[in-house]
Amino acid sequence: MTIAVGEKLPDVKLKKAGENGPEDVQTGDYFKGKRVALFSVPGAFTPTCSAKHLPGYVEKAGELKAKGVDEIVCTAVNDAFVLGAWNRADGSSDVTMLADGNGDFAKALGLPLDLTGGGLGHRGQRFSLLVNDGVVEQVNVEAAGEFKVSSAEHLLEQL
């Protein structure tokens, strides 16, 4: 079952690329006490994710923060090294990358994505959430092959 407005985020361990290697991040603690624009992509360095999804949040970071967002977080079913490299290549310090290497967060949210037919394995769906103190305020899940409702522009309209 997909996470819904009013529900608390599942408490799952993610990884963040740190100066000395991957650092554990517990979602229950990380999202506490702040309003977060959370978006997820099927994979770092993939076409739509690199050309549109991440750049949109980088470009709109100031506007999101002006409307009360404390932090912008991107997740993907990739490891922390890949997400760290992607952020250095295409992101910014305005976006925090949290790796969901085993897809545990995507599964706990009810948003896994099976791309084994295309050789990409098990991933997470493309979505965005607005999370306030660990509680979901907005849920935007893309239809297969779409890129509309999970964009930074759409989330801005919801604020």
Residues designated as active site:
49
Rounded CA-CA distance 143/130 in Å is 18
Residues 6+ apart with CB under 8 A from 104: 12, 13
Per-residue tokens: 135: 């509680």
As to burial, measured by CB atoms within 10 angstroms (0-12 exposed, 13-18 middle, 19+ buried), residue 109 is buried
CB atoms closer than 10 angstroms to residue 146: 11
Distance from the Cα of residue 45 to its chain's centroid: 14
